[in-house]
């Protein structure tokens, strides 16, 4: 066993008080954190005298599943299965004790770099922030203890690479971005699952505007490193062959070695996609559409391409915009090594199955101008840090949002979350 891994294992046993546990398994893993790579040692500790998994291949109650950062020695997660622990290491009797332990483990300051979002019984949920300002798609921290104060759960999914944060004073106001609220007010059709019918309403499509007002960043932007394409897919002739799907092995990655961790080798998903690879991926995407959607030339746009594992994933959306809440898209998986499309996911299949017997929405009688007048005093502009892949840093932005919508058939103003 590598000496550093042995030290991390010994540290884990000592710090968590795993004297009544036996190390069952361990391995190195690596993950992408926006634009950075983190290496972790993952361990499973079984409570004595257990030496094997249950009959259904699950970890037995009381198992300690631990992820510790290979380089910093800080815990990413500590989870005791079914909330049962026979460890004698971490006892946190009060809320203040729990917060202090999180501060020590993450190196963050409470109130400035993470803040409490939810508290119930012996469970605390935090969100990552900068001087109290949260991140879009915020990283979270959760900690739980049992009635005796024994740590039973800790998990952090921090997203920010701290050196890449552009700190500045938030200076936007609602008046400055009023024109954007008008642009973002859209008519949307959404499914009412309880009553099995569609409804239509005017609401704000969330968007982030940079503090300097020079750019906007969509709320639903893919958080992975992506390459914007925005090209219309057109062809003259279809491909008259059946498409045969192959199994997607998206999680597969060859074993991570200690040397890779010591060298801080970047995760393969962070490898740039070359112009030649982009051209090949665009060609394979178009050939796929010619084969599976042969009569729909000019109806699809290739939006962006990302690298994930051994695949390029090309996302295409209809050229024609609709008012449907669930925007249709197809994710097309191109095997990097085989240079061929091996599978795809069309979200229309799922939406159609769920909503196939729904009644249509009532006719809209309210105009966009009328809806705007109803909502304009309810608009919210809140500061958030958002990662900008072009500038390669977190930018201070204002999030345009509204908790309310206007029902298009009646003009009634209702809380969005109640729908």
Q: What is the pLDDT of residue 8?
A: 96
Hey, what are 402's tokens?
């509204």
Q: Is residue 207 part of a domain?
A: no
Q: Is residue 333 part of a domain?
A: no
CA 276 to chain centre: 29
Percent of the chain with pLDDT over 90: 68
335: confidence class by pLDDT, cuts 50, 70, 90: very high
Domain count, the chain: 1
- Residue in 28, 66, 33, 40 with CA at minimum distance from that of residue 256: 28
Q: What is the mean pLDDT of residues 151-159?
A: 90
Q: What is the pLDDT of residue 249?
A: 83
Q: Is residue 111 part of a domain?
A: yes
Q: What is the pLDDT of residue 224?
A: 61
Q: With left for phi above 0 and alpha for psi between -120 and 50, is residue 97 left, alpha or beta?
A: alpha
Q: Do the beta carbons of residue 142 and residue 102 sit within 8 Å?
A: no
Q: What is the pLDDT of residue 161?
A: 56
Q: Is residue 202 part of a domain?
A: no
Q: Is residue 243 part of a domain?
A: no
Q: What is the pLDDT of residue 348?
A: 87
Q: What is the pLDDT of residue 221?
A: 54
Q: What is the mean pLDDT of residues 186-208?
A: 90
Q: What is the mean pLDDT of residues 297-320?
A: 94
Hey, what are 6's tokens?
């042995």
Q: Could you tell me how many helices (H) and strands (E) the chain has, helices first?
A: 7, 22
Q: What is the mean pLDDT of residues 347-356?
A: 82
**Which long-range contacts does 132-138 make (Cβ < 8 Å, 24+ apart)?**
133/170, 133/383, 133/384, 133/385, 133/396, 134/384, 134/385, 135/159, 135/160, 135/384, 135/385, 135/386, 135/394, 136/208, 136/217, 136/219, 136/384, 136/385, 136/386, 136/387, 136/397, 136/399, 137/223
Q: What is the mean pLDDT of residues 222-251?
A: 86
- Residue 152, domain extent: 3-163
Q: What is the mean pLDDT of residues 61-89?
A: 94
Q: Is residue 282 part of a domain?
A: no
Q: What is the pLDDT of residue 243?
A: 95
326: confidence class by pLDDT, cuts 50, 70, 90: confident
Q: Is residue 336 part of a domain?
A: no
Number of neighbouring beta carbons within 10 Å of residue 43: 22
6: confidence class by pLDDT, cuts 50, 70, 90: very high
The mean of the pLDDT values for the chain is 90
Per residue in 269-300, pLDDT tens?
A: 888 899 999 999 999 999 999 999 999 999 99
187: confidence class by pLDDT, cuts 50, 70, 90: very high
Q: What is the pLDDT of residue 265?
A: 93
Q: Is residue 262 part of a domain?
A: no
Q: Do the beta carbons of residue 177 and residue 398 sit within 8 Å?
A: yes
Per residue in 353-411, pLDDT tens?
A: 888 888 988 999 999 999 999 999 999 999 999 888 778 788 899 999 999 999 999 99
Q: What is the pLDDT of residue 400?
A: 94
Bond prior to 120 in cis (omega within 30° of 0): no
Q: What is the pLDDT of residue 382?
A: 94
Per residue in 9-66, pLDDT tens?
A: 999 999 999 999 999 999 999 988 777 889 999 999 999 998 888 878 889 999 999 9
351: confidence class by pLDDT, cuts 50, 70, 90: confident
Specify the pTM.
0.80
CA-angle at 218, arms to 187 and 168, nearest 5°: 130
């Amino acid at each position: 066993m590598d000496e550093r891994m042995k030290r991390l294992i010994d540290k884990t046993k000592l710090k968590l008080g795993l004297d009544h546990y036996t190390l069952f398994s361990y391995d190195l893993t690596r993950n992408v954190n926006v634009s950075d790579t983190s290496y972790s040692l993952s361990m499973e500790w079984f409570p004595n005298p257990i030496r094997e998994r249950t009959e259904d291949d699950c970890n037995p109650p009381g198992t300690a599943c631990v992820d510790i950062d290979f380089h910093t020695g800080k815990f990413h997660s500590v989870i005791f299965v079914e909330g049962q622990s026979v460890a004698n290491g971490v006892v946190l009797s009060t809320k203040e004790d729990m917060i202090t332990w999180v501060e020590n483990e993450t190196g963050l300051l409470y109130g400035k770099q993470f803040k409490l979002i939810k508290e119930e019984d012996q469970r605390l949920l935090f969100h990552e922030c900068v001087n109290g300002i949260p991140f879009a798609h915020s990283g979270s921290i959760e900690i739980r203890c049992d009635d005796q104060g024994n740590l039973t759960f800790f998990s952090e999914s921090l997203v920010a690479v701290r050196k890449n944060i552009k700190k500045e004073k938030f200076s936007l106001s609602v008046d400055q971005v009023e024109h954007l609220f008008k642009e973002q007010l859209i008519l949307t059709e959404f499914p009412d699952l309880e009553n099995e019918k569609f409804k239509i309403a005017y609401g704000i499509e969330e968007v982030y505007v940079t503090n300097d007002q020079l750019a906007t960043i969509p709320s639903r932007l893919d958080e992975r490193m992506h390459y914007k394409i925005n090209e219309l897919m057109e062809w003259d002739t279809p491909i008259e062959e059946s498409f045969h799907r192959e199994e997607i092995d998206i999680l597969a990655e060859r074993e991570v070695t200690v040397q890779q961790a010591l060298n801080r080798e970047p995760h393969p998903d962070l490898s740039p996609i070359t112009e030649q690879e982009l051209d090949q991926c665009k060609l394979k995407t178009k050939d796929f559409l010619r084969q599976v959607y042969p009569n729909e030339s000019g109806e699809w746009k290739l939006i962006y391409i990302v690298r994930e594992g051994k695949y390029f994933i090309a996302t295409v959306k209809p050229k024609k915009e609709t008012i449907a809440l669930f925007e249709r898209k197809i994710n097309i998986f191109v095997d990097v090594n085989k240079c061929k499309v091996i599978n795809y996911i069309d979200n229309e299949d799922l939406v159609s199955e769920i909503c196939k017997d729904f009644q249509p929405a009532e006719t809209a009688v309210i105009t966009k101008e009328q809806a705007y007048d109803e909502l304009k005093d309810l608009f919210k502009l809140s500061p958030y840090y958002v990662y900008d892949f072009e500038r390669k840093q977190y930018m201070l932005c204002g999030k345009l949002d509204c908790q309310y919508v206007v029902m298009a058939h009646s003009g009634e103003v209702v809380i969005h979350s109640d729908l």
